[in-house]
Structure 1
Amino acid sequence: MGRETCKTCGEAVENGYTICWKCGTGVDGSPPAAEFVPDALAPGETQRTLACLRCGTGLSFVRRMKLHEGSLLPGLLLDVGKLFTNREGFDTYACPGCGKVEFFLAG
């Protein structure tokens, strides 16, 4: 059995796994189990169910991202510069229909 591609989201499914890590669909095409939570979410968190404001297609959870505000100081002070940046967590959702991306504060 080689590397397979998820029939729902197109993500690569590694050898030996029976479900897609990203969406929970079985390699045989079976739907995700009700208790499936993507790895990108912390335990106990659930995804939002959102529709794209542009085309109405359901948005797909991409991952939780940490974005920083501010600049990093170059050179030897690089590590010190990181202390002065504001890092905020965002859940990222993308529309598979039109490509619109939306960010929501991580809850």
Structure 2
Amino acid sequence: MKKCPNCKSEMEENFELCWNCNFSLTENKVLDIKDLNDNKKDINCLRCNTPYIYSGEYKFHEGPRIGILGNIFEVFVNREAFDIYVCPKCGKVEFFIPTDDSEYKLE
């Protein structure tokens, strides 16, 4: 776990945005909610009807990680990426297919 430099909340190692104060480690500033949702879906929470905040794209890695031979087994690994949206009021999380990934676009 790492700590947010702005509010000192604990953050997961792979997060670049603080869940508590919206401090971006990559941009080194607190982001406004409207900045987070630029070019993203405008959707509301199904529970409390609050607008979701785009939290970023998360890449899932499933498959074996076997010590020194792990690189050989990367051939058998399945990777999926999803856009994550979070409700700031109730904490509900929604996963969506990435909007900019042409592999998933319907024709």
Return the TM-score normalized by structure 1.
Answer: 0.59
Superposed, which structure 2 residues align to 1:58-73 within 5 Å? Answer: 58-69=51-62, 71-73=63-65
Residues paired across the two proteins, number:
81
In the alignment, which residue of structure 2 is the partner of 1:29?
Answer: none
Greater helix share, 1 or 2?
A: 2
Q: Which has the larger radius of gyration?
A: 1
Which blocks of at least 5 consecutive residues in structure 2 are unaligned?
8-19, 100-107
Matched, 1:23 2:32: yes
Kept in 2, the 8 Å contact 1:4–1:13? The answer is no
Which blocks of at least 5 consecutive residues in structure 1 are unaligned?
25-31
Q: Secondary structure at the match of 2:82?
A: strand
In the alignment, which residue of structure 1 is the partner of 2:13?
Answer: none
1:12 Cα deviation after fit: 3.4
RMSD over equivalenced CA pairs, Å: 3.0
In the alignment, which residue of structure 2 is the partner of 1:103?
Answer: 95
Change (3 A) 1:83 1:11: same
Identical columns (%): 32
